[in-house]
DNA sequence: CCTGCTCCGTCGT
DNA sequence: CGGAGCAGG
């Protein structure tokens, strides 16, 4: 119900001139954000400002002098587009559901037909790595069990899913597979068991996570409130109603941006779109949200956001509003609405969440002593679950729905621990062109009042943060008791400067060019960042750890050469990145950038490969015996999705095609950094070896497949969850290869390459597990950046055993058909004694 | 003017 | 699911 903010399209910005403007939009815009402040007047009165005439809507807020574009952009918008890198060093809670769900797109048919796959994990992990790459510490939050309050919608969905499934099956039967897929996609349900597959991957990469007992939203709100995280990244934004302060929406993996909404900005805003939240309390804000309809309670017919707002504005409290509505008799207020409202409010306020520190369930907000509390409320906030089970749920070892031990639906999927490979090819992935700009260009002339944030949108949100704010505002406002990876202290200011230049450049461009796809200038700052981050001298816990650091130093030179080679290759391939004017504005030395950017990985991996089967690896002799637990962070900067590069490439090509400004004849000297080498460049790598980055990525892609083929051979090893020993790995891989050759035969060479890599990786990680990280030798060695976080879930290698006798023992087979938890079965005896 | 309805693209292959 | 367009009060 709470919505997102729309970005103002260029066209709409253009329309800001009264003459050519679209009046509706114009009105909303000037109402909201003019520096001069609102003009007031009596409702209904017409005022004339400049050449435009406006009608006053109600008693307070009103119209402004026509803004210039500059005025708008210099004022503080409610939603700001920010670079991911601005959040470097911060811990961000991430709603895993959406990522998982999107991940299922890539394997919808397999999932629907019961085929084993874990490909849906890849999407989420790529994004996790993307966050890590930007120095962000992700804290993944999973949805848990259903709340009674939402039961209704669940049944509905189930039904729709079944319908889609049936349709898909019939289409598939007719051989119309592509059409079938369309429906398969719609019937996929993300189950806790699927989430568990992602959890395994998160464990492998030491990413903090927690499974909420009930709703991820409430859990994330709690994490933010208790200072465990700095902000919340999600797609659906009910979060503000839960009292969240810093919400990040619409993560864009191509442009590496998010939309930031900061609660504290609300008060400072004047009537966004006619709604002024100035002086509104959280209570009122929440009331408005519930009144206008939320997940837990449908709205009174005819009451939308706007009326809810004005009613509350007038009557202050919900009780008064309901009373007034009933008196007037205009709206039909359902019987018991007020009670239902209170229940909904209770859910937002007191829903049960998991406290990772106390390792038990708590209320999102503690119930006050004086507050009335009854059975019904108790049921609505979610049943209490006794701590030991709650912990298992939170860690993913128990299914939050059935409360039974987690059923690993794909035990053969054993994500390996990523080695610290600072492959910053991400930087390359960030290409100047915007792939998806078009879609966002389109803005309705009239902002419809369908969502709360739409109101905020009355003020155009600018594309980049205001110049004044080089950091998200909550960076300083949020106390961070949590251990976070330190930000890049050195070079940060310069980064800010660079970013400011970007802003300036963008603004300038924006006013000049309207139809051309916007060229991002941020690539330079990106590189700049990377430079500082991979510089061994700079204390950069996030990027390098242990052997990573030493390797980084030793392999710098070869890497550089490697890169040059690829630049040339790329050039031949007519894929040179023609940098726009924007880059010229930056004063960063290209060489420096490359140096920083270059990943030592290739040469390292290559020279190191022969040793992989040996436990003696440089890694173990980490030059950082101290607690610089950046390993995790390093893992973070793993390769981005190839697809992203592809998409970016495409966009860039398109951009180039559009603007025929002659960038094409630029010499090589203007090429700061070549685009990611084409995949075929593997063969061109010559003496320095194949492009392992690509292989590496392929490995990721193939993992599922390979695992798939080796179900049987791996079953035992998998179930033990122990370190993978070289022996086991070899055996398994050989068998796996055999199977694979029989089944899939796309490109023998490639597959073999991958298989080798896989094998090596497995072996390596086996040793890693056994020795480097191993239990006995150096306990403190394992670089868990999340170690201090309450929920570090790696070292759980033992199967969960439940001793609760009162837990329902319904046999749990596959994803579907989980016994739904009812208060009766789920409440553990004596649990309610808590309250 | 506001609400509520419907349709459509999302994400990826 | 959010956004866009449209109809009706």
Confidence of residue A352 (pLDDT cuts 50, 70, 90): very high
Only one residue has tokens 């078009």, namely A438
What's the CA A339/C1' B2 distance, rounded, in angstroms? 26
**Which SS3 state, helix, strand or coil, does residue A257 take?**
strand
Distance CA A646, CA A644 (A): 5
The CB density around residue A163, as the number of other CB atoms within 10 Å, is: 13
Question: Is the Cβ atom of A181 within 7 Å of strand B at any atom?
Answer: yes
Q: What is the mean pLDDT of residues A239-251?
A: 90
The more confident residue out of A246 and A641 is A246
- Provide DSSP, A414-446: -PPPPP----THHHHHS-SB-SSHHHHH---SS
The hierarchical CATH code for the domain A77-265+401-415 is 3.40.50.1010
The more confident residue out of A279 and A135 is A135
Task: Provide CB contacts within 8 A for A411, sequence distance 6+.
Answer: A714, A715, A718, A719
For residue A483, give the nearest of A226, A788, A794, A140 by alpha carbon. A788
Question: Is the Cβ atom of A4 within 7 Å of strand C at any atom?
Answer: yes
Torsion of CA A385, A386, A391, A393, to 10 degrees: -30
* DSSP annotation of A824: H
What's the CA A407/C1' C3 distance, rounded, in angstroms? 38
Among chain A residues 607 through 666, which have CB within 7 angstroms of nucleic chain B? 643
Confidence of residue A295 (pLDDT cuts 50, 70, 90): confident
Question: Is the Cβ atom of A304 within 7 Å of strand B at any atom?
Answer: yes
Residue A97, both tokens: 């559901």
Domain ranges of chain A: 12-74, 77-265+401-415
Residue A30, both tokens: 């000037």
Mean pLDDT rounded to a whole number for chain A: 55
Least confident stretch, A98-107, A315-324, A582-591: A582-591
Q: Which residue is nearest to nucleotide B13 (CA to C1')?
A: A106
Question: Is the Cβ atom of A67 within 7 Å of strand B at any atom?
Answer: no
* DSSP annotation of A461: B
What share of chain A in percent tops pLDDT 70? Answer: 39
Cβ atoms of A480 and A230 within 8 Å: the answer is yes
Q: Which residue is nearest to nucleotide C5 (CA to C1')?
A: A444
pLDDT digits (tens, 9 = 90+) for A754-771: 443 433 343 333 223 222
pLDDT digits (tens, 9 = 90+) for A316-345: 999 999 999 998 888 888 889 999 999 999
Question: Is the Cβ atom of A702 within 7 Å of strand B at any atom?
Answer: no
Asked whether residue A27 carries a pLDDT value surpassing 70, the answer given is no
Confidence of residue A710 (pLDDT cuts 50, 70, 90): very low
Task: Provide CB contacts within 8 A for A229, sequence distance 6+.
Answer: A90, A91, A92, A93, A139, A220, A223, A482
Question: Is the Cβ atom of A429 within 7 Å of strand B at any atom?
Answer: no
Nucleotide nearest to A58 (CA to C1'): B1
Question: Is the Cβ atom of A449 within 7 Å of strand C at any atom?
Answer: no
Q: What is the pLDDT of residue A152?
A: 65
Nucleotide nearest to A310 (CA to C1'): B2
Beta strand spans in A59-207 (E): 79-83, 91-95, 137-142
The CB density around residue A524, as the number of other CB atoms within 10 Å, is: 27
Distance CA A17, CA A12 (A): 10
Asked whether residue A225 carries a pLDDT value surpassing 50, the answer given is yes
Q: What is the pLDDT of residue A237?
A: 67
Q: Which nucleotides of C are covered by protein (CB under 7 A)?
A: 1-6
Q: What is the pLDDT of residue A170?
A: 85
Confidence of residue A137 (pLDDT cuts 50, 70, 90): very high
Confidence of residue A255 (pLDDT cuts 50, 70, 90): confident
Among chain A residues 5 through 64, which have CB within 7 angstroms of nucleic chain C? 5-6
Q: How many helices (H) and strands (E) are present in chain A, helices listed first?
A: 35, 11
Which of A61-70, A234-243, A546-555, A707-716 is the most confident on average?
Answer: A234-243
* Strand order from edge to edge, sheet including A208-211: A79-83, A257-262, A246-252, A231-234, A91-95, A137-142, A208-211
Q: Which residue is nearest to nucleotide C4 (CA to C1')?
A: A444
Asked whether residue A75 carries a pLDDT value surpassing 70, the answer given is no
Confidence of residue A114 (pLDDT cuts 50, 70, 90): confident
Q: What is the pLDDT of residue A269?
A: 54
Question: Is the Cβ atom of A216 within 7 Å of strand C at any atom?
Answer: no
What's the CA A151/C1' C7 distance, rounded, in angstroms? 32
Cβ atoms of A96 and A276 within 8 Å: the answer is no
Least confident stretch, A38-42, A235-239, A346-350, A736-740: A38-42
Confidence of residue A305 (pLDDT cuts 50, 70, 90): confident
What's the CA A44/C1' B1 distance, rounded, in angstroms? 12
pTM of structure: 0.51
Q: Which nucleotides of B are covered by protein (CB under 7 A)?
A: 1-5, 9-13
CA distances from A817 to A189, A192, A402 (A): 11, 12, 10
What's the CA A442/C1' B8 distance, rounded, in angstroms? 14
Distance CA A635, CA A417 (A): 8
Among chain A residues 231 through 270, which have CB within 7 angstroms of nucleic chain C? 236-238
Task: Provide CB contacts within 8 A for A290, sequence distance 6+.
Answer: A241, A296, A297, A318, A341, A344, A345, A348
The more confident residue out of A324 and A597 is A324
Nucleotide nearest to A454 (CA to C1'): C3
Among chain A residues 236 through 275, which have CB within 7 angstroms of nucleic chain B? 253, 274
Among chain A residues 432 through 491, which have CB within 7 angstroms of nucleic chain B? 436, 439, 448-450
Least confident stretch, A276-290, A323-337, A768-782: A768-782
**Which SS3 state, helix, strand or coil, does residue A808 take?**
coil
Question: Is the Cβ atom of A101 within 7 Å of strand B at any atom?
Answer: no
């Amino acid at each position: 119900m709470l919505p997102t903010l729309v970005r103002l399209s260029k066209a709409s910005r253009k329309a800001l001139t009264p003459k050519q403007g679209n009046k509706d939009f114009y009105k909303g815009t000037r109402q909201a954000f003019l520096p001069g402040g609102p003009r007031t007047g009596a409702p209904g009165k017409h005022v004339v400002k400049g050449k435009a005439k406006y009608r006053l809507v109600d008693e307070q807020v009103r119209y402004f002098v026509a803004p210039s574009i500059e005025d708008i952009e210099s004022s503080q918008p409610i939603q700001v587009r920010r670079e991911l890198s601005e959040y470097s060093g911060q811990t961000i809670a991430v709603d895993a559901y959406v990522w998982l769900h999107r991940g299922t797109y890539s394997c919808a048919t397999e999932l629907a037909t019961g085929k084993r796959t874990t490909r849906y994990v890849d999407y989420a992990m790529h994004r996790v790595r993307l966050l890590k790459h930007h120095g962000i510490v992700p804290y993944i939050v999973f949805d848990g069990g259903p709340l009674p309050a939402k039961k209704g919608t669940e049944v509905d969905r189930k039904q729709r899913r079944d319908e889609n499934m049936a349709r898909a099956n019939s289409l598939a039967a007719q051989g119309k597979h592509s059409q079938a897929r369309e429906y398969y996609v719609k019937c996929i349900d993300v189950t806790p068991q699927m989430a568990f597959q992602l959890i395994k991957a998160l464990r492998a990469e030491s990413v903090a996570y927690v499974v909420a007992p009930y709703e991820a939203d409430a859990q994330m709100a709690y994490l933010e409130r208790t200072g465990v995280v700095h902000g919340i990244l999600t797609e659906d934004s009910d979060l503000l109603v839960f009292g969240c302060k810093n919400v990040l929406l619409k993560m864009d993996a191509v442009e590496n941006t998010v939309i930031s909404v900061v609660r504290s900005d609300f008060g400072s805003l004047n009537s966004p779109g006619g709604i002024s939240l100035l002086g509104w309390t959280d209570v009122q804000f929440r009331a408005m949200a519930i009144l206008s309809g939320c997940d837990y309670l449908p709205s009174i017919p005819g009451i939308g956001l706007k009326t809810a707002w004005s009613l509350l504005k007038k009557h202050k409290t919900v009780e008064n509003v309901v009373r007034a509505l009933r008196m007037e008799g205009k709206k039909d207020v359902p019987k018991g609405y007020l009670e239902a409202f209170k229940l909904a409010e209770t859910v937002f306020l007191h829903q049960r969440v998991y406290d990772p520190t106390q390792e038990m369930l708590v209320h999102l907000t503690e119930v006050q002593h004086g507050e009335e509390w009854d059975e019904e409320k108790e049921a609505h906030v979610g049943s209490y679950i006794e701590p030991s089970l709650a912990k298992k749920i939170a860690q993913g070892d128990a299914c939050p729905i059935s409360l039974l031990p987690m059923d690993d639906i794909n035990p053969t999927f054993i994500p390996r621990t990523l080695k610290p490979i600072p492959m910053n090819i991400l930087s390359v992935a960030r290409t100047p062109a915007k792939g998806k700009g078009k879609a966002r260009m389109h803005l309705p002339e009239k902002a419809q009042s369908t969502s709360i944030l739409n109101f905020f949108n009355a003020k155009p949100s600018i594309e980049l943060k205001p110049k004044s704010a080089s950091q998200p505002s909550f960076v300083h406002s949020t106390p961070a008791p949590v251990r976070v990876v330190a930000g890049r202290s050195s070079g940060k200011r310069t980064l800010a400067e660079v970013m400011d230049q970007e802003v300036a450049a963008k603004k300038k461009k924006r006013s000049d060019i309207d139809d051309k796809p916007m060229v991002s200038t941020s690539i330079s700052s990106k590189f700049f960042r990377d430079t500082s981050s991979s510089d061994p001298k700079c204390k950069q816990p996030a990027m390098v750890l242990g052997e990573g650091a030493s390797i980084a130093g030793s392999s710098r030179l070869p890497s550089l050469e490697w890169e040059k080679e690829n630049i040339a290759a790329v050039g031949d391939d007519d894929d040179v990145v023609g940098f726009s004017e924007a880059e010229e504005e930056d004063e960063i030395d290209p060489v420096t950038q490359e140096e920083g950017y270059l990943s030592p990985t290739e040469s390292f991996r290559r020279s190191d490969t022969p040793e992989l089967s040996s436990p003696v690896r440089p890694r173990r002799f980490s030059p950082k015996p101290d607690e610089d637990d950046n390993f995790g962070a390093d893992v973070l900067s793993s390769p981005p999705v190839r697809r992203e590069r592809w998409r970016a490439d495409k966009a860039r090509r398109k951009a180039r095609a559009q603007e025929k400004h002659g960038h094409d004849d630029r010499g090589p000297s203007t090429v700061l950094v070549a685009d990611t080498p084409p995949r075929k460049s593997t063969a061109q790598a010559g003496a320095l070896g194949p492009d392992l980055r690509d292989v590496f990525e392929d490995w990721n892609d193939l993992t599922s497949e390979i695992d798939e083929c080796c179900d049987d051979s791996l079953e035992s090893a998998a179930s033990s969850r122990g370190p993978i020993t070289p022996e086991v790995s070899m055996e398994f891989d050989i068998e796996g290869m055999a199977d694979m050759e029989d089944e899939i035969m796309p490109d023998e060479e490639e597959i073999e390459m991958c298989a080798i890599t896989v094998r090596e990786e497995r072996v390596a990680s086996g040793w890693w597990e056994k020795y480097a990280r191993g239990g006995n030798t150096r306990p403190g060695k394992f670089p868990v950046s999340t170690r201090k976080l309450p929920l570090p879930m790696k070292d759980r290698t033992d199967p969960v055993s439940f001793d609760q006798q009162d837990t329902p023992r319904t046999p749990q087979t596959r994803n579907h058909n989980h016994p739904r938890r009812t208060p009766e079965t789920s409440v553990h005896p004596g649990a309610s004694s808590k309250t």
